[in-house]
Amino acid sequence: MLAEVRKTGTRSIDLWSKVHGTQRDEAETLGQQRLAELLREHDVNVPLTTRYDLGPFKLGPEIHFLRGIGGQVVVTGSKGPTGLSGDALRREVKKFVELMKPNLSLAAETGVTIAIENHGETLVESPDALRWLAEYSQGLPLGIALAPYHLRQDPHMIGDLIRDLQLKLTLLYAWQYGLGCTKPMPKAEELKQLPGRGDLDFLPILQALHAISYNGWTEILMHPTPRGLPILETAEAVTSEINLARRYLDQLGSQ
């Protein structure tokens, strides 16, 4: 639904692969030339893609795809042992960055950044893991896609984390826990993942972004259950809901 993109106040989209979405798969079916034609027709660009399906060590083809369409960021998850803390976590995060270096070398050559999301039940999940990832990836095209959903729902803690991550913050998901996203629930409850719908106060988060002069991407996000469904039944309804969240963030940002 490229025709809907500009109605949400942006001209940029993120192509997600299955199971979360079908946009990346549709782009592959279209082919690069036809995709480029449609993007020009609707005055839309693709600065980033999301490839949890590939994982962090098999991103070579995606980096080349991104470069071919003028994209800049590929988002994925981390890989390694879970449930760690302290020195054990620090060592594994450092090891993870070392294992990423072949992909990071290609990313550097092509001007692409690999962004790691703090997904739940992964190596890079906690604030400590994120801080160490930022520390060990200095000078490398490895950034962070920060998902407040997967953190303790304390806006001041999240704001402090943003200040610590500084320029390593590549993408912020405007996404809160609400009532979760792992089981079916009434739509009004599911939508509480969105800014302005749930209880999380985004003001300290926006203040922290301002404090670090953040110029990365912000993505209004929620996950329906089951995955792969649109958040509402029609494209027009989705556009309206995204704009409601965007207005909430804009109003807070003007304070």
What are the DSSP calls for 188-213, one per residue? HHHGGGSTTTSS---HHHHHHHHHTT
Mean pLDDT of 30-57: 96
Q: What is the pLDDT of residues 176-199, one digit of tens each?
A: 999 999 999 999 999 999 999 999
Task: Quote the CA–CA distance of 74 and 104 in Å, as a whole number.
Answer: 11
pLDDT for the residue 253: 87
Which residues make Cβ contacts (< 8 Å) with residue 243, sequence separation at least 6?
Answer: 7, 8, 9
Domain boundaries, the chain: 7-253
- Hey, how many other C-beta atoms are within 10 angstroms of the C-beta on 251? 11
pLDDT for the residue 197: 97
Residue 1 has pLDDT above 80, yes or no: no
Q: What is the pLDDT of residues 206-224, one digit of tens each?
A: 999 999 999 999 999 999 9
Adjacency order of strands within the sheet including 113-117: 12-16, 45-50, 73-76, 113-117, 142-146, 169-174, 217-220
Domain 7-253 class? alpha beta
